Chains A and B, each alone.
Chain A
Amino acid sequence: MNNILEQIKPYLSTEVFLLGLVMGTFLLGVLIYKKTKITLLQPLLISILIIIPFLKVTGISYQTFNTQTHFLNFMLGPSVVALGYVLYEQIEYIKGNVISILTAVFVGSVVGIVSVVVIAKLLGADKVLMASLAPKSVTTPIAISLAEKTGGVPALAAAFVVICGIFGGLVGPIILRKVGIKSKIAKGLAMGSASHALGTARAMEMGALEGAISGLAIGIMGIMTALLIPFADILF
């Protein structure tokens, strides 16, 4: 058995197989999600939960996987840029809401940083962990540079950003329904502010306006958090 595995491992480590594995598991996730309608069974989560054990069993390192699927990682950048078009399409809805959007995201940024640091501190987290947690609501590139500046670990910050994104993407729509939010702008803004591009991916499923506003929120949240993080030092 091990012998066979060793023999086919080079084939399993190829770009074509690993990219195909991502697409295949994601597609399986889409099918499961559509059949069950269970919010928790997000295609992204299903794909990750199949691929991690697969890599462990076959002994393919994350480094190999990451190199071979780098194309997908790269596409994160263009997809954020493309949100500029989606935003342009929704311009009529944004006009007249500029002040409320800026206010809501500013309050969200303060609440996001303060609450994550305070909860972590109460539960005994050290300064390094708190500094890595503080920028969890912004996109990975911003979070990494912010964590570095305040004494956090960039790799950990990146992991927390992904966890925060998956969590917010999962529970966000449920919370918004429970709280009884009707405004599409409020929904999109909340998803993007709390869970960056992953929240936006979910907001896109709600509708084009929600998705566009969510994309806008990533940008504003990133800028505001960058300006606020230096003050988070007081909390540590």
Chain B
Amino acid sequence: MIKGSFYILLFYFLGELLSMLLHGFIPGSVLGMVLLFLALFFKILNPENVRSAATTITKNMAVFFVPAGVGLMVYAELVSKSLLAITLAIAGSTVLTIVVVALVQEHMEKRKVKGKTTHE
């Protein structure tokens, strides 16, 4: 667990460094994810080193959002002024995004499978 935590923090830090070089264009955590993936992919890091820590953290991700969620109370007044526009815009757009992404991906996957079977 300590070894795993160390490696995750190390890659987080490397991600933050890279993010600084890119002027914060992409957050350090996302870059850290990419770097950790690359290190595992190119066998620089043994997956056993991070397995238990990484699985424990990612399985319990939702609880880390509680402080940010409670933060909504601070913006309650601002949000309530344009409540209808905000609610409908977020809800409508989120539903559309989910449907579009899922349909495009599923459609392209199916087409690929079909293409393969006709070639064979």
Contacts and interface: CB of A to CB of B under 8 A. Distances in A.
Interface of A: 22-23, 25-26, 42-45, 47-48, 51-52, 55-56, 62, 65-66, 69-70, 72-73, 75-89, 91, 96-97, 99-101, 103-105, 107-108, 111-112, 115-117, 119-120, 123-125, 129, 133, 136-137, 139-142, 145, 155-156, 158-160, 162-168, 171-172, 175-176, 179, 181-183, 185-187, 189-191, 193-195, 197-198, 200-202, 204, 211, 215, 217-219, 222-223, 226
A166 B73 CA distance: 15
Interface string B39-78: 0110000010011011101110111111111111111001
B118 interface: no
A165 B25 CA distance: 21
A120 B85 contact: yes
A141 B99 CA distance: 25
Given A72-B66, A164-B90, A81 B36 contact: yes
B21 interface: no
A226 B26 contact: yes
Given A160-B86, A218-B30, A222-B27, A189 B105 contact: yes
Main SS class of interface, A: helix
Nearest to B101: A108
Interface residues of B, number: 73
Contacts of B63: 22-23, 26, 43-44, 47, 72
A215 B59 CA distance: 12
Contacts of A100: 104-105, 108-109, 112
